[in-house]
Amino acid sequence: MALLAVTLLGFGGYAIIQTVLPLYAVHLGASTTVVGVLILAFSIPSVLLRPTIGALVDGWSRRGVHLVGTACLGLIGFFYVIPSLVTLLAVRVVHGAGWAAFNTAGGTAVAVLAPPPRRGEASGIYNLMPGLANMVMPALSVVLLSTRGFAATFIVAGMLGLVAAATLRATPFPGERTPASRPSLPEARAAAGLERHAILPMGIEFLFTITYTLFWVYPPVFAASLGIPIEAMIGYYVPVGIAVVASRLAMGRVIDRLGRRTALLLGAAAVTAGLVVASSATTIVPLAIAGSLHALAASLITPTAMAIAIDGSSVDRRGASIATYSLGFQLGVGVGGLSWGAAIDAVGFSWTYLLALIGPLAILTIVLRSTRLGRRPRAGTW
């Protein structure tokens, strides 16, 4: 329960910041393309540092890495208040590094604790926490922004991170290995790198996550382009957030029964439908429908991809496996954020949603051609 609480709080702060970031950047004089650069600035350190962080999780301490990352999420929130694009760029870089530590250690805890026959369910429960955060926090950030301004939203995000760090510090850490049972830190560093078995789920997560910013970062810009007041975005974030939670609750126990391939195919079909609906949206209602379809896709694809990464991980390399898999999310956010920001400036929202179909169509192709995904996992193996 402590792991879930810490995850909820950490993702809560992340959801608040990602909701107001594009409007804050525009307020400081940025274009949509620059918003994409700021998203990429978050992703670069998060991507580059993950293999090393995975080695630290395996060779030093999962609890220590988790605590350092969580504390960073809390402290960095207060630096967003400084009204400067140059400072904001630097803050995004540091935030991305902290996020890599938080995310890698948290995912490794799931790999350690999840029983083999229920890895899909365990991954679904863990990924329900971001869903709960996305159900509440974007709407809260809209209310805070409209009543208290940008500073209040960032301060609240920072406080959530600090509470998460205090919670983690005060509770036992289940499944933490003793120093004697870990590989040495030099050995773990020497082995730092991509885990081969986790490259497939990393690729699937990347192809799905390149669509993420279109539904969770750029909607306020979409509304602004149509002259829709920011308060009206509650009509988007609340139903989409409910869809996130409802779909993850419904799919959690179904994923293991469906099998990896079927779950991924259904998820790719859902995000394809969401992008097509979004491409013709001119009001909040159809965009919310599209966002809800994307939420359904996330409840199928992300836990399944994470379970695939766990399936092939060895006891000594779980941190490295999760670090490799989770690169897909961060690469997707960075590449998608930058690409779609530039595309929105160039061709508008409708064509950008259609261009993003390249992600789910690639997933469909990979899954249909892969023989590996046709087999059900056994304990610790494929």
pLDDT in tens, 175-186: 555 554 455 555
Residue entry with tokens 């993850």: 248
> So what's the pLDDT on residue 63?
85
Q: Which residues contact 6 (CB under 8 A, 6 or more apart)?
A: 66, 70, 106, 164, 167, 168
For 54, the enclosing helix (H) or strand (E) is helix 50-59
> So what's the pLDDT on residue 381?
36
Alpha-carbon distance 294 to 73, whole Å? 26
User: Do the Cβ atoms of 252 and 119 come closer than 8 Å?
Assistant: no
> So what's the pLDDT on residue 170?
86
Alpha-carbon distance 164 to 236, whole Å? 27
> So what's the pLDDT on residue 177?
53
Alpha-carbon distance 223 to 334, whole Å? 22
Half-sphere exposure of 145 (CA within 13 A, CB side): 26
> So what's the pLDDT on residue 179?
52
The full 3-state SS of 75-114, as one line of letters, equals HHHHHHHCCCHHHHHHHHHHHHHHHHHHHHHHHHHHHHHC
> So what's the pLDDT on residue 114?
66
Q: Which residues contact 166 (CB under 8 A, 6 or more apart)?
A: none
pTM of the predicted protein model: 0.77
Two tokens at 133? 């955060």
Two tokens at 227? 């002259």
> So what's the pLDDT on residue 176?
55
**Spans of all domains in the chain:** 2-173+193-374
> So what's the pLDDT on residue 127?
72
Residue entry with tokens 């929130």: 77
Pick one of 3.40.309.10, 1.10.150.170, 1.10.10.10, 1.20.1250.20 as the CATH number of 2-173+193-374: 1.20.1250.20
Q: pLDDT 10s per residue in the chain (382 long)?
A: 788 889 999 999 999 998 899 999 999 999 888 999 999 999 888 888 887 888 788 777 888 899 999 999 999 999 999 999 999 999 999 999 999 899 888 877 776 776 666 666 666 677 778 878 888 898 899 899 989 999 999 999 999 999 999 998 887 765 555 554 455 555 544 445 677 878 899 999 999 999 999 999 899 999 988 898 888 899 999 999 899 888 888 886 777 788 888 999 999 999 999 999 999 999 999 999 999 999 999 989 998 898 888 776 665 666 777 778 888 988 999 999 999 999 999 999 999 999 999 999 999 999 998 766 645 444 433 3
Alpha-carbon distance 315 to 313, whole Å? 7
Torsions phi, psi of 354, nearest 5? Answer: -70, -40
> So what's the pLDDT on residue 189?
47
Q: Give me the torsion for CA of 134, 139, 140, 143, rounded to 10°.
A: 160
Please state whether 84 falls in left (phi above 0), alpha (psi between -120 and 50) or beta.
Answer: beta
